A = this chain, B = another copy of it.
Amino acid sequence: MIRTPEQYIESLRDGRIIYLNGEKIPDITKHPHMKGAINYRAKSYALANDPKWRDLITMEEENDRVMFLWKQPQTSKDLLRRRDLYIKCMKLGGIISGMGPDALAAAGVVAARMDKKLGTHYTDALEDYRTHLKRNDPAITGAITDVKGNRSIRPSAQEQHQDFYVRVVDRQKDGIIVRGAKMHISDTPGANEIIVSPCRAHREEDKDYAVVFATPLNAEGVKLFTSPRFYEETDEEALWNWPVSGFYGGISECMIVFDDVFVPWNRVFMCGEWQFSRDIAWTFGVFHRLFGTCHKVVFTEQAAGAAALIAEYNGIDKYPHIQEKLAWLAAHAEIINTMARAGCEHPDFFPDIGLAAPNLVYTNIAKFMFANDQFETSKIMCDIAGGLVSTVFSYKDWENPEEKPYIDKFLAGKSGIPTEDRLKVIRMIKDMSGHNHDNIAIHGEGSLAAQKMALYAGADWERYKAAAKRVCNIEGWKESKEFKDLSPWPPEPILK
């Protein structure tokens, strides 16, 4: 089924335990700071029911319509549609958090592998859960990052306590008991359920930490601590002051505490198979980086546009050094877009299990490029926009009839452009260049170090080394399938 927005909203009144900025919130649908996140999600249900977008977002199955994201990707086409769906929903203001579907896809890949290799039956549990998703259409998210404690110490060796990574503390007949906390989990207040996965490789001694499961967010023992929003304004004032973040309400990350939560076996998709923890973390990583790059396709387009507009409004769009900076922003946007799309066009296929994932190298490059250059993007936007990014006036200043005429007169830019338009673009740049976006760009979907590791691990070193070995006449280049058909280097000279 596909729920209506109203059904979705109603479902959030479920008794969950949730805190925000020092306050326990009895009903999140009534809290002004939660409204943005809920509306962002509700809109996705509206779109799924909208004849104009329904065929993109949902699919027909057994005489029912279900979310396309419940499908386990098998082809390049599946991945391209997934990407298109994410981008379109973002542009339409109806977020479908990638966290949940990406965790589902990763769990699907790894369950198939474990079952094939170890003879387990996790795919059955997962299919059971998939059926539940199709029948009940809950909003789901995914949790990966643990709170970690001392980063240089493995989970089971932590000194203060053993709960810095989520772990199984008891295996019972009907299910398991889990304990620990996950941090920075996006889109949690607006979700009904969550899929939880490990964020790192494990050794045997850490096998209790090798656990993947799904649970409702109002399950007993689950506690949500929402990260505070970076602004206080609401409604029209929020939108004027923060044109990008003002609708969805800034970040909606939670720390999720699992205080001995019971999970039945049909919601457990890994339990103790520590050799596969790295696999689940990496597979989630590549699916979720695909999601992240969708976000950045939208973001970089807006950044290039905002910078181009303010250059025009400030009257500096004809200067070569400004055009050079704008060209950088355009190139940045197109590289991310093209590399991420190429990741779906040329996916990594896993023929033994009949599944596919976004190309590891291309997708990590796309994600790395935006993460690594986000501060440069901010710097360029600020450099072009001017000091006003720091000192620009607010909605309340603008609405005050005593102040407005002065602001209107003196903060005008190029003739013919309303001062308010100039102020809004400045506010947009202020919003986009602050650490709300900068820090998240680096750490969202994994740190810079994580992408570098993935790139190094996934790069085609055999091909590169063969290219160099052939030129140097060093044995071994024939082993590369890209080079084996070529003649040795250099070719026999024709003219002696």
Smallest beta-carbon distance A448→chain B, Å = 6
Residues of B within 8 A of A335 (CB): 335, 339, 365, 369
Q: How far is the CB of A428 from chain B (nearest CB, A)?
A: 6
B308, B327, B390, B427: the one within 8 Å of A184 (CB): B390
Interface assignment of A207: CB less than 8 Å from any CB of chain B: no
Q: At the interface with chain B, which of A122-130, A212-220, A280-288, A398-406?
A: A398-406
Of chain B, the residue at the smallest CB distance from A406 is B257
Tell me if A435 and B389 are in contact (CB < 8 A).
yes
- Tell me if A149 counts as interface (CB < 8 A to partner B): yes
Q: Is A173 an interface residue (CB 8 A)?
A: no
Q: Is the CB of A468 within 8 A of B150?
A: no
With A430-B435, A433-B439 as contacts: A163 and B409 at CB distance below 8 Å: yes
Per-position binary interface string of chain A over residues 419-458, scored 1 when its CB falls under 8 Å from any chain B CB and 0 otherwise: 0010011011010011110111011100111001101100
A223: interface (CB < 8 Å): yes
A421 touches B314 (CB 8 A): no
Min CB gap A190→B, angstroms: 10
Contact A361 B334 (CB under 8 A): yes
B-chain residues with CB within 8 Å of residue A323 when the two chains form the complex: 452-453, 456
> What is the CA–CA distance of A374 and B383 in the complex, to the nearest angstrom?
12
Residues of A237-270 at the interface with B, using a CB-CB cut-off of 8 Å, are: 239, 243-244, 246-247, 251, 253, 255, 257
- Cβ B390 vs Cβ A253 within 8 A: yes
| CB within 8 Å for A320 and B318 given contacts A467-B305, A471-B244, A494-B39 | no
Cα(A426)–Cα(B227), bound, Å: 14
A117 at the interface (CB under 8 A from B): no
Scan residues 50-83 of chain A and give those whose CB is less than 8 A from a CB of chain B.
none
Shortest beta-carbon distance from A49 to chain B in Å:
12
Q: At the interface, yes or no: A232 with Cβ under 8 Å from chain B?
A: yes
Q: Is A469 an interface residue (CB 8 A)?
A: yes
Rounded to whole angstroms, the CA-CA distance of A491 and B92 in the bound complex is 7
Judge whether A387 and B440 touch: CB under 8 Å: yes
Asked if A136 CB lies within 8 Å of chain B CBs, one says no
Stretch from A18-26, A104-112, A350-358 that touches the partner = A18-26
Whether B410 contacts A314 by the Cβ 8 Å rule is no
Q: How many Å lie between the Cα of A147 and that of B396 in the bound state?
A: 20
Whole-angstrom distance between the Cβ of A149 and the nearest chain B Cβ: 6
Contact, CB under 8 Å: A324 / B321: yes
B150 & A225 in contact (Cβ 8 Å cutoff): no
The residue of chain B having its C-beta at the shortest distance from the C-beta of A428 within the complex is: B472
Give the docked Cα–Cα distance between A311 and B427 (Å): 33
- Known interface pairs A150-B415, A153-B315, A184-B388; 18 further A-B residue pairs with C-beta atoms within 8 A, sorted by A's residue number: A46-B494, A184-B387, A247-B491, A255-B391, A304-B461, A305-B464, A305-B468, A306-B472, A320-B321, A321-B449, A323-B453, A326-B459, A330-B361, A331-B368, A334-B362, A375-B375, A383-B442, A433-B438
Closest 3 CB pairs of A and B: A22-B396, A305-B468, A387-B443
